[in-house]
Amino acid sequence: MVMAVSFTRYGRLYYLDPDGREPSVGDKVLVPTDDGGTEVAECVWAPQVVTDEIGGLPKLAGLATADDLERDDRNRRRRAEAKVAIKSLVRQHELPMKPVGIDVLDRAEPPRIVVYFSAPHRVDFRDLLRDLARTLDSKVELRQIGARDEARVQGGIGPCGRDLCCATFLKDFEPVSVRMAKDQDLPVNPLKISGACGRLMCCLKYEHPLYQEFKAEAPAIGATVGTPEGDGRVTAHEVPRDSVVVRLSASGQSCRCPKADVCAPRQAFESSPASSLATQGDPSSAS
C-alpha cells in the first residue's frame, strides 16, 4: 500500500507507507521528518495497492489531532513573523543574500528555526545570526542553497505552463548538458532552454534517451534511402513522429516517411558480401 501527501497545496508529493491506516483525500495527517519530529501534511492520494514492490518508504505517523492542527497554525504564524524580521535585518546589515524559505522545527532537538537563503557567494552572517536569535527569541540556523534548490523551495510555473518539476515530483537533480539540447534539435539559446532557476531545464533529460535511440536506428541526414514513393536523400529527422523527411531524387519534392518505411539498412545489406552469399545459396534466385 502506498499513499501520497503534500505539505503545501499543489506542492511536491511525498510517498508514505500508510501502515494499516486508511486516511481519505483531504485529511490532515502526521508525517515523520528527518529531524525526528512530525509535521502536518494533507493526504493527496488515498492508500492504494501498487503492482511494483516498493520498500523503504517512511510510515505514516497517524492522523492529525486538534492539538497538531493548532501547532501547525502557530508555526505558520511564526514563519510569517520570522520572514518579516529576517528581510528587515538583512537590509540593515546590507548583506547580498535573499531569504528563500523558513522551517520551524519545534519538535526537533533542540527546537530551532531554519532559514534557507541564496547568495552569489559565501556570506559572513555572524552578526545577522546573533540579531536573528535575539529578535526571534529562538535558536536560528542559516543554510545557503543553490539556484535549483531555490526554485524548488519557491515553486513557480515553467515554460510549459505547468508547476515546476523540481517543486512537485523530482527528488534529485540529474546532470543536464547543452549536448542534450543539440541532440533534440533545440535552439542553443539560454532564454529557450533555461528554467526558472536560470540553469538548463531538467526536462531536457526526459526525452534525450528517445532521441539517442532514434538516431542510432534511423538513417543519418544526407543518407540515400528508398521509400514507397521512390529513392531520395534524408534531409531531417522528426523524432516525435518517429519519421524522417526525404527529398525525392525524381521530383525534388519532400515527403515524410515513417522510420520503418525507409530501407537504407536493406540497401546496405544487399550491397554487402553476406547478401551475395545468401543469394547464391537461394534456389529461387537461380534464373
Q: Mind listing the pLDDT tens digit for each residue in 98-117?
A: 999 898 888 767 788 999 99
126-136 and 66-93 are packed helices; what angle lies between their axes, rounded to 10 degrees?
Answer: 140
In this prediction, residue 69 carries a pLDDT of 92
Q: Give 187's contacts (C-beta < 8 A, 6+ positions apart).
A: 181, 193
What's the number of CA atoms in the CB half-sphere (13 Å) around residue 265? 8
Strand, helix or coil for residue 282: coil
b/e map 172-197, b = 16+ CB within 10 Å: eeeebeeebbebbeeeeeeeebebbb
Q: Which residue has the higher pLDDT, 149 or 9?
A: 149
> In the chain, what percentage of residues exceed pLDDT 90?
21
Phi, psi at 77, each rounded to 5°: -65, -40
Residue 1: pLDDT band by 50, 70, 90 thresholds?
confident
C-alpha cell at 256: 515524410
Helical segments of the chain, H only: 66-93, 126-136, 147-154, 165-168, 178-183, 190-193, 208-217, 264-270, 273-280
Tell me: cis bond preceding 110? Omega within 30 of 0 counts. Answer: yes
Amino acid at 193: I
Q: Mind listing the pLDDT tens digit for each residue in 124-179?
A: 898 999 999 999 888 999 999 988 888 888 888 888 888 888 887 787 788 899 99
Placement of cell 514513393 in the chain:
229
User: What gap in Å lies between CA 79 and CA 139, rounded to an integer?
Assistant: 14
CB 193 within 8 A of CB 204: yes
What structural domains does the chain harbor? 2-64 (no CATH), 70-145 (3.30.300), 149-205 (no CATH), 219-270 (2.30.30.140)
